Amino acid sequence: MISKLILANLPTKIEKLERLSKEWDVNLYVKRDDQTGSEFSGNKIRKLEYVLKEALERGCDTVITCGGIQSNHCRATVAAATKLGMNAVALLRINEEPKVEGNYFLDKLFGADIRFCTPQEYREIRSEIMKKIAQEYSLKGHKAYIIPEGASFGIGTLGYYSCLTEIAAQEKEMGISFDTVIVAVGSGGTYAGLYLANKFFRLNKRVIGMAVCDNQNYFRDVIVDISREALPYIGEKIDVLREEIEINDKYVGIGYALSRPEELAFITEIARKEALILDPVYTGKAMYGLYNEIKASNISRSSNILFIHTGGLFGLFPKQEQFEF
């Protein structure tokens, strides 16, 4: 496999959630990928370690990427590019004039070149817009590298491919085997990496992706594509099978980055029981889904469950007024 930059604090720790384990009658552990860094916090930095290595090797001095206004991916990319002395451009999707808060505030703090587009432009022509920005930079003598949404493309997939090998090493150290791994799914690259490593190393884990938007059909297609794109980078032959990709789309709720009161109440409950901070866009929905699936006996009691905390802390603050205490 190809090499990477060292940006994240790795390995991240795995800890048991004692009170929730007792209450839910499972052994629930959490992989603290919310602690990969402060400026870099969350899952995207694992992908960026590979992606930005490729960008530098290609002689690029500018990175262009895209996401929602509160994108954790854009914030991590802007921070990492800045750290590496590169220019960072973030194309952000907005409905209205955004408040300067959360991840968007940090994008500005790091001095990113911020561009806006409408949801429709984002859906239909974001690649074209990013290519235009790359041309604009090229005219000024720069060389830009475009990272697609969430860094969910071939090389970005290596981040969670190697994360699962990190987890396997920790299992040996801890003398435990996780039978089920739970992760939030937003653009699919995190799941794709876990899926490929699980299969290649025959770890036989049940990897469940909790969708925070779209549905199972959509994500199976996306994850098959990303996984196949990743194979040349991994350098192994792995059969990618659509039906092996387990996506649970029952907990999307009212849509991407929109919260229902019960989801926010659940985040509050987890904070009060375990001092674990979940975010409203990804990990809050994913763990709310896990809780409900355990209750419905769709995940067996007494199993060893590993919840990957993929970060998102800065996305919590723009929602603080929606919480009722």
Among 37, 68, 154, 188, which residue sits at the site for ligand PLP (rule: CB under 6 A)?
Answer: 188
For residue 190, state whether it binds ligand PLP (rule: CB under 6 A).
Answer: yes
- Enumerate residues 6+ apart whose C-beta is below 8 A from 283: 34, 184, 309, 310, 311, 312
Asked if 232 and 271 count as a contact pair (C-beta separation under 8 A), the reply is no
* Angle, CA 80 vertex, CA 182 and CA 42 arms, to 5°: 20
For residue 186, state whether it binds ligand PLP (rule: CB under 6 A).
Answer: yes
**Shortest approach of ligand PLP to residue 77 CB, angstroms?**
11
**Shortest approach of ligand PLP to residue 273 CB, angstroms?**
20
For residues 152 and 156, what is the distance between their CA atoms, to the nearest angstrom? 6
Among 68, 148, 154, 189, which residue sits at the site for ligand PLP (rule: CB under 6 A)?
Answer: 189
**Shortest approach of ligand PLP to residue 173 CB, angstroms?**
25
For residue 282, state whether it binds ligand PLP (rule: CB under 6 A).
Answer: yes
Respond yes or no: is residue 152 known to be catalytic. Answer: no
Tell me the pairing of strands 113-117 and 87-93: parallel
Among 37, 148, 284, 312, which residue sits at the site for ligand PLP (rule: CB under 6 A)?
Answer: 312
Kindly tell me the number of DSSP H helices and DSSP E strands found in the chain: 10, 10
85, exposed or middle or buried, with CB in 10 Å at 0-12, 13-18, 19+?
exposed
Q: Point out the catalytic residue in the list 21, 38, 41, 71.
A: 71
For residues 102 and 69, what is the distance between their CA atoms, to the nearest angstrom? 9
Among 184, 196, 267, 305, which residue sits at the site for ligand PLP (rule: CB under 6 A)?
Answer: 184
Residues that bind ligand PLP (CB under 6 A): 42-44, 72-73, 150, 152, 184-191, 279, 282-283, 310-312
- Annotated catalytic residues are 71
